[in-house]
Amino acid sequence: MTTETVTSEISQVERHGYLFGHPISHSMSPLLHKTVYDNLGLNWAQYPMDSIDMNLFLQRIQHPQFYGASVTMPHKVAIIKHLDELTEEGAAVGAVNTIFIEEDSTGKRLFKGTNTDVIGVRDAFCYSVAPEKYYNRPALVIGGGGAARSAVYALRTWMKASAIYLVNRDPEEVRAVINECTARGYGDSLVHVSSVSQAEQLEGVGAIVACIPNFTPKSDAEKEARKILETFLQKSHKGAILEMCYHPTPWTEITELSEKAGWQVVLGTEALIYQGLEQDRYWTGKEVHQLPVEKVQQAIAAKLSEPKL
């Protein structure tokens, strides 16, 4: 979007926000928020800003009608130093995906950051899965990136995981997750599961969060990680798995394996929806139950069912 285009478009709405990241062409964030605003009768809009230009973004958010932004890769960590304050979730995860504004006692606008990805993980389970399937049981996180850290935080903070097993093709990434989560105060009982024989000896899990792209394992490390997952899927207790990957399709190799093994599958679009609704809670001041949850679910499902070009 050029500066002229932005100026022209924002003049037609009452309030505006941005989706800031690169690349973002596949993102359903603007659709999600448009659905919320249309159903609430708000003349608001979220505009995609596919850019790595932090300075330009920081200029644009000074506009008096700016209400907040979704922030995605590669800016989730870099944005932090430009914000006035972080919520508990933003500080604990060390990454921000949401900017919102509050005024201080003098009327000055403060730019605050939070992480609603953790709420997306929590609520995807809470609204879809009976808690007895995962409460007070170990959990499993597959992956070693930012989404894995968000999953660990949600499982540890709200979902009563008795231990969290970490599985990933790269042991160094797992060590980094453990060290970072420990330093931030929620690293207790994190266990790196590195072999099938180790997995066989461990208690079955109740919640699994898969945070890796959809691909067929090729390297030995990838194949071992997949076999470890299959070992947990075959244990007697059948819980629920949240497959965070939903692009280009939410039905991945992992969801297929999980369903065949008798597990309840929660699609990543549910986490997308609930993290987005949590963003709108900050921006609109309305609680999630006051937002058009079903309309958003319908809009996202319709978008996913469109033919892929």
Residue 19 and residue 29 in contact, taking contact as beta carbons nearer than 8 Å: yes
Report how far residue 83's alpha carbon sits from residue 63's, in angstroms, rounded to the nearest whole number. 16
Report how far residue 138's alpha carbon sits from residue 205's, in angstroms, rounded to the nearest whole number. 5
Query: Cα dist. 83→13, 96, 101, 166, 258 in Å?
Result: 25, 10, 10, 31, 41
Q: How would you label 9-47 residue by residue, b for 16+ Cβ within 10 Å and e otherwise?
A: ebeebebbbbbbbeebeebbbbbbbbbbbeeeebebbbb
Residues β-bridged to residue 114: 98
SS3 193: coil
Residue 287 and residue 233 in contact, taking contact as beta carbons nearer than 8 Å: no
Nearest CA to 28 among 250, 272, 211?
272
Residue 186 and residue 157 in contact, taking contact as beta carbons nearer than 8 Å: yes
**Structure tokens of 162?**
């008795």
Given the residues 76, 223, 227, 260, select the one marked as catalytic: 76
Dihedral sign from CA coordinates of 30, 94, 91, 270: positive
Active site residue 76: yes
Active site residues: 76
